[in-house]
Structure 1
Amino acid sequence: MNNKMPVTSFGWAIKQRLVELRMDQKTFCEEHNIPPSRLSNLIHGTRRAHRYRKKVAAILNIDDNDYKEASIL
């Protein structure tokens, strides 16, 4: 059984931008002092993490307002 959470639209935007920058998630987190678990929360929508969402959106130049997710479990 697959227990993984699906990737949200904001999560896909993060992943796409990281690919464009040729950077993996671990390196991104280390360079910008973001806990890897928080980035994962943002990608999968398992936690709101507002502070990190704004920080990640600003760093990656993603318009946060374009990705309003459905309610979190």
Structure 2
Amino acid sequence: MQSKVTPFGWAIKRRLAELEVDQKTFCEQNNIPQARLSDLIHGRRKLKRYRKQVILLLNLHEYDIS
């Protein structure tokens, strides 16, 4: 069963769409494992390091919880 996409996950998807880049390409360009980005999108893990990196790269500072 697929887990639901979190509000942070939708923000990631929306921003990637605005930049016209898919998740795979984004991950390859920024050395982020695809599974970790998927975990962030679906809220399966905290992943602070990758969360911070994604927030910075996609300018999603409203989701910064540090």
- Bin of the TM-score, shorter chain as denominator length: over 0.9
Aligned residue pairs, count: 64
Match of 1:16 in 2: 14
Q: Which runs of 4+ in 1 moved over 4 A?
A: none
- For normalisation by structure 1, the TM-score amounts to 0.84
Unpaired segments ≥5 residues, structure 2: none
**Quick one: percent identity of the two aligned structures?**
58
CA distance in 2, matches of 1:22, 1:4: 24
Once superposed, what is the RMSD of the aligned Cα atoms?
1.0
Larger Rg: 1
Unpaired segments ≥5 residues, structure 1: 69-73
- For normalisation by structure 2, the TM-score amounts to 0.93
Structure with the largest fraction of helix? 2
